[in-house]
Structure 1
C-alpha cells in the first residue's frame, strides 16, 4: 500500500521537489551574498573607535546597513509570501486530489476490493503525503529563517504579521491544517476542482481571521494607561493627529507586540480632538515638542491606553497557534475516517 501511494503521488512529489530545490538554490545563493555583506560591515565596525557614538564611521555603517536593507526588501517580502503560500499550495495540489481524484475516477474500488481495508487505505495515504508536506514546509521555513537573519535583526519586528506567520513552528501547523482540509473536502465533495477551490478560499479566510481575532487573545495581554502631562509626554516616541483624534507613541517594553493604541480620551471616555485643545498645538508648520504639548494638556486630565504582549509571549503564542491548527487538522482527519467507514458505496 505504501508503494502504491508513492506511485500515485510521485508526479506531485517530483514537481514539489523540483520547486523546493529551486527555492533552496535561490535562498542559498542570495543568502550567502547578503550574510557576507552584513558580516563584513559589522566586522569593519568592530575595529577600535570605528563606530563609537555619532562618529563618521557610525554614520557610514548606518547608511551601509540601510542600503543593504533596502536592496533586499523586495526579495524579503517575496520569500516570506512564498513560505506563507506553501501550505495553501500543499492543501490545493497535494491534499484535495489525494482522495477526491480517486473517488472521482473510481480507482479507489480497486484497493477496496482487495485485502486493503478502507481505514488502512486512508491511513497510509494521509500519513505518507502528510509527512512529506510537513517536511517540505519545515525545510522552507528553516531556509527563510536563515536567509532573513540579518534583515530580521535590522527590522527588529518579529511580531509583524508576515514575519510571525513565516517563522518558527506555526508554518508547520498551517501545512498540516491545509493538507487535512484539502483531503477532507476531496473526500466529501468527490470532485477535485471544487475541493481545490474551496480549500484555497477556506485557508485564506482562516489565515486572515486567526491573526486578527484569535492570536491576540491566546494569552492575556498587558494594558497600561498614561496620563497626558509633561512628565509622561517626555517619554513618548511620536505624535500623530487628525481632525477627529490624536495619539502619542506610548512607551512599551523592547520587542513587545503592540496590539492596541486607541486615541487620547478625556475623563468621560470620549475621544479627544485637536480642535478642542487648539491652544496646546503649534500653528503652521512648526514641529511640536511633546513635553510642551503634554504640559499644556495636563490641566485637562486626558489619558491614553496601550495594550501589548511582552517579548516573553512570542514562543508560547507560536506553540499555542500551532496547537490550534494541529487540533483542527486532527478534527478533519477524524472526520475523514468517520466518513469513509460509514459509506456503503
Structure 2
C-alpha cells in the first residue's frame, strides 16, 4: 500500500520540492544582501547600545532597494497555504472517487480507516515538512528587517508557527471537501471558500486581539515621552487625543484643532488644555506568543476537520 501511495503522489512530492527550491532561489540572494546591509550600516551595533535613530539609514536603504521586492514576494507566499489546499488537499480523495480507484482500495484486506490514515499522513507529512522549511527560510529572510521594524506586519502570516498551521488547515479542508463532494473542481472551489471564510476574519479582526492590546496615555510635553511611545517594532492599533474627562476625540475633532497650528506649538497647546496622546498597540515582543495562539487555533480546526474526515470514510457504504 505504501508503494501504491508513493506512486500516486510522487508528482505531488516533486511539486513540493520544486516550490521550496524556487522560493529558496528567490529569497536567499536577497536575504544575504539585506543581512550584509544590516551589518555594514552599523544598525546592529546601534540597536544593541539602544541609541535613538538607529533604524533611519537602514529603513531608507530598505525602502529604496528591498521594499519593492518584499511587496512582490510576500503576497505570493501568503497564497501558498491556499494553494496546498487546492492542489494537494482537494484532489487527495476526490480524485479517487472520480477515477473509481476507491472501490479497489476498499475491497482489499487493508481497512478503509488504515487506507485513509496512510494517505493523509503521507501527503500531510510532505505538506508539513515543506511548509516548516519555507517558514524557517522566510523567517530568516526577514530577521534583519524584523530587528528594526518588528514582525507584526503583513509578513506575520508567512513566518514562524502560523504558516505551517495555515497550510495544514487548508490541506485538511481540501481533503474533507473532496470526501464529501467527490469531484476535484467542486472540492477545490469549496476549499478556497472555506479557507477564506476562516483566514480573512482571523487576519483582519482577530489576530491583533488574541492578547489584550496595551494602552498608554502620554503628556506630549513630558521629558521621556518618546521612550514611552510605541516603538517601530510595535503594531499600533489606535492613536488619538483624549481630553481631561477621558473622552477620546474623533479624527475630525483632532484635525480641527490642528488646522493652521505650527507643529512646534502643538505639544504646548495640548498640555495647556489638558489633552493627551493615547495609543493602543501590540508590543513587538509578543510576536511568538501571538504566533503560538493563532497556530494553536488553526491546529485545533485541523484536528476537527480530520475527525470529520475519518467519520465520513467510516460511515460511507461501499
TM-score by length of 1: 0.79
**2:267 corresponds to:** 291
Whether the aligned pair in 2 keeps the contact of 1:96 and 1:182 (CA below 8 Å) is yes
**1:115 corresponds to:** 109
Q: Distance in 2 between matches of 1:251 and 1:332?
A: 43
Deviates more, 1:106-115 or 1:77-86: 77-86
Q: Distance in 2 between matches of 1:337 and 1:212?
A: 32
Deviation, structure 1 residue 64: 6.7
Whether the aligned pair in 2 keeps the contact of 1:180 and 1:333 (CA below 8 Å) is yes
Whether the aligned pair in 2 keeps the contact of 1:225 and 1:305 (CA below 8 Å) is yes
Q: How does 1:96-245 map to 2 (within 5 A)?
A: 96-154=90-148, 156-160=149-153, 162-226=154-218, 231=221, 235=225
Q: Distance in 2 between matches of 1:142 and 1:304?
A: 38
Unaligned runs of 5+ in 2: none
**1:259 corresponds to:** 237
Which structure: greater helix fraction? Answer: 2
Q: Distance in 2 between matches of 1:22 and 1:87?
A: 16
Deviations 1:297-344 (A, max 9, x none): 22xxx5554333334432222111111100000000000000111111
Whether the aligned pair in 2 keeps the contact of 1:224 and 1:305 (CA below 8 Å) is yes
Deviates more, 1:115-124 or 1:24-33: 24-33
3-state SS of paired residue (2:212): coil
Deviations 1:164-200 (A, max 9, x none): 1111111111111011000000111111101112212
Deviations 1:38-75 (A, max 9, x none): 433339999xxxxx999xxx9xx955762344211122
Deviation, structure 1 residue 273: 6.8
**1:244 corresponds to:** none
Whether the aligned pair in 2 keeps the contact of 1:38 and 1:65 (CA below 8 Å) is no
Q: Distance in 2 between matches of 1:84 and 1:145?
A: 13
Deviation, structure 1 residue 236: 6.7
Q: Distance in 1 between matches of 2:202 and 2:126?
A: 25
Q: How does 1:7-86 map to 2 (within 5 A)?
A: 7-42=7-42, 63=57, 66-86=60-80
Q: 1:217 to 1:98 in 2, by over 3 A?
A: same
Deviation, structure 1 residue 120: 0.8
Deviations 1:206-264 (A, max 9, x none): 221012332233223333345xx664598379xxxxxxxxxxxx823674333333554
Higher relative contact order (CA 8 A, sep 6+): 2
Whether the aligned pair in 2 keeps the contact of 1:264 and 1:272 (CA below 8 Å) is no
Deviates more, 1:264-273 or 1:31-40: 264-273
Whether the aligned pair in 1 keeps the contact of 2:241 and 2:254 (CA below 8 Å) is no
Deviates more, 1:166-175 or 1:302-311: 302-311
Unaligned runs of 5+ in 1: 47-51, 238-249
Larger radius of gyration: 1
Number of positions where the alignment pairs a residue of Structure 1 with one of Structure 2:
314
Whether the aligned pair in 2 keeps the contact of 1:266 and 1:272 (CA below 8 Å) is no
Deviation, structure 1 residue 36: 3.1
**1:330 corresponds to:** 303
Q: 1:71 to 1:43 in 2, by over 3 A?
A: closer
TM-score by length of 2: 0.85
Q: Distance in 1 between matches of 2:251 and 2:169?
A: 46
Whether the aligned pair in 1 keeps the contact of 2:241 and 2:248 (CA below 8 Å) is no
Q: Distance in 1 between matches of 2:40 and 2:116?
A: 53
Q: Distance in 2 between matches of 1:147 and 1:96?
A: 31
